[in-house]
């Protein structure tokens, strides 16, 4: 297939005319498809309806140690669920606090706590002249929204297939005391699906921060979200690596069951050093009486242990794997060799990252929207929603049905072709 940039002006004009005709036909179908967020599909949620049946009015609602989950108590989680979440995050259960349904909520509170009270015994961030955060890009838009809301300056750090550009990370962290943190999605990163290499994790653990209150915000959202049993990625456990490197307090690790059980009714957890957790508990005792222990008990009764959780994730993978493969198939068949886009092929997670020609992402997303397919807004994967190259688009294949996904993927590649041709004509 001939690359578009090799076509002369007459060939591009003829191609544009044909693509415009196809686009008008697509618009006439009146599509209404939403691929803007990485949500589980109805079939995934239906698959686990029996999650609701493990506890009822006749159930024994006490923990193994005899604590009544209907009442107050156990501020940082029932022991059984601490063990379950610790095993999911590959840490020891004495390093875990269990919270409510959302790890994003923990991240927000962790930033807010640092702003108001400081990190452990350090100066509250709100009393400092300047606070900076490193942001691997493209990255998770909700991370960036948190730091933006608190007025924290965000600095772009380019992502590679091995993880963030560690030369830049080390330079900023080791030299600038205003740099207080970095956002990380270390396994199947959002949106590219990259997993940090062992070397990257070890370099993180060996950082020598200029700020004593610097913390790595390790959002391990896709710890067990593999698509393939035979080629799943592995991630080095960072808390133990930090201890080896003499930096035991440098990491806050976050995890949840938001895409394991029901997203709105899951459980979340924070793993960190004893010093960090003790500091957090001081404010927790004032902030809350405790999370929903009945929901924690439901999770333990449903999965029993980490092996039960992993077996459940294979059912999820069986539903969403064909969707990823369907999108990848369309991208390969329609765009391979045209040199108008590149995309990732992740082994897990919830997204495919697509890089269009520079200056084309916003136009592609808008073309899709006009024809009835809603994508994540162009620029959303960068701080302040400003993609300097206007090229990155996050594709979320999980929510639509396979039939809807096929239609949406066809429209997407059509819009990529049309916008690319128009861009090339402008440049000529």
- pLDDT confidence of residue 37: 87
Residue numbers of the chain with a pLDDT score lower than 50: none
Domains along the sequence of the chain with CATH: 4-45+310-427 (3.90.1150.10), 61-304 (3.40.640.10)
Hey, what are 156's tokens? 């772009």
Phi/psi at 281 (5° precision): -60, -30
d(CA 6, CA 337): 11
How much is the pLDDT for 35?
A: 87
Partnered with residue 156 across adjacent β-strands are 135
Distance of CA 377 to the CA centre of its chain: 16
What integer pLDDT is reported at residue 178 of this predicted model?
A: 98
Residue 392 has a CB neighbour count (10 Å cut-off) of 23
CA distance 338 to 315: 36
Q: What pLDDT is attached to residue 230?
A: 93
Residue with tokens 């959302």: 102
The residues facing 382 across adjacent strands are none
- Strand pairing class (392-395; 373-375): unpaired
| Predicted local distance difference test score (pLDDT) of residue 34 | 87
Residue 68, classed as helix, strand or coil, is strand
Q: What is the number of other CB atoms lying within 10 angstroms of the CB of residue 283?
A: 14
Q: What is the pLDDT of residue 102?
A: 94
Q: How far apart are CA 239 and CA 278, in angstroms?
A: 16
d(CA 329, CA 16): 24
User: What's the half-sphere exposure (Cβ side, CA atoms, 13 Å) at 170?
Assistant: 11
Distance in angstroms (rounded) separating the CA atoms of residues 99 and 104: 11
**Helix, strand, or coil (residue 372):** coil
Q: What is the pLDDT of residue 31?
A: 87
């Amino acid at each position: 297939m001939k690359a578009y940039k090799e076509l002369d002006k007459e060939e591009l004009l003829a191609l544009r005319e044909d693509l415009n005709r196809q686009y008008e036909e697509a618009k006439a179908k009146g599509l209404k498809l939403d691929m803007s967020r990485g949500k589980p599909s109805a079939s995934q949620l239906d698959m686990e309806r029996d999650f609701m049946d493990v506890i009822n009015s006749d159930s024994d609602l006490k923990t193994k140690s005899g604590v009544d989950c209907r009442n107050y108590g156990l501020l940082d989680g029932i022991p059984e669920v601490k063990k379950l979440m610790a095993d999911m995050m590959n840490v020891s259960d004495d390093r875990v606090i269990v919270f409510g349904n959302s790890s994003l909520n923990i991240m927000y509170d962790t930033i807010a706590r640092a702003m108001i009270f400081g990190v452990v015994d350090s100066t509250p961030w709100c009393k400092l002249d300047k606070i900076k955060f490193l942001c691997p890009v493209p990255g998770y838009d909700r991370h960036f929204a948190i730091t933006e809301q608190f007025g924290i300056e965000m600095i772009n750090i380019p992502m590679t297939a091995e993880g963030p550009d560690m030369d830049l990370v080390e330079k900023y962290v080791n030299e600038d005391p205003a740099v207080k943190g970095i956002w990380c999605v270390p396994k199947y990163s959002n949106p590219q699906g990259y997993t940090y290499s062992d070397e990257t994790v070890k370099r993180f653990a060996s950082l020598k921060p200029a700020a004593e209150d610097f913390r790595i915000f390790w959002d391990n959202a896709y710890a067990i979200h593999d698509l393939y049993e035979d080629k799943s990625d592995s991630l080095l456990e960072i808390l133990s690596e930090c201890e080896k490197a003499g930096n035991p307090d440098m990491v806050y690790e976050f995890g949840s069951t938001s895409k394991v059980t029901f997203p709105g009714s899951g459980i979340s957890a924070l793993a960190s050093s004893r010093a960090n957790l003790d500091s957090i508990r001081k404010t927790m005792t004032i902030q809350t009486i405790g999370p929903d222990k009945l929901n924690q008990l439901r999770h333990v009764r449903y999965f029993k242990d980490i092996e039960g959780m992993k077996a459940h994730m294979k059912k999820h993978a069986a539903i969403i794997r064909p969707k990823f493969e369907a999108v990848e198939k369309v991208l390969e068949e329609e765009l391979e060799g045209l040199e108008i886009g590149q995309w990732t092929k992740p082994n897990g997670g919830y997204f495919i990252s697509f890089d269009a020609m520079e200056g084309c992402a916003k136009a592609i997303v808008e073309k899709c929207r006009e024809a009835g397919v809603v994508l994540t807004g162009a620029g959303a994967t960068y701080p302040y929603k400003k993609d300097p190259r206007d090229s990155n688009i996050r594709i979320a294949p999980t929510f639509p049905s396979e039939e809807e996904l096929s239609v949406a993927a066809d429209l997407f590649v059509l819009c990529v072709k049309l916008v690319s041709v128009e861009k090339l004509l402008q440049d000529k």
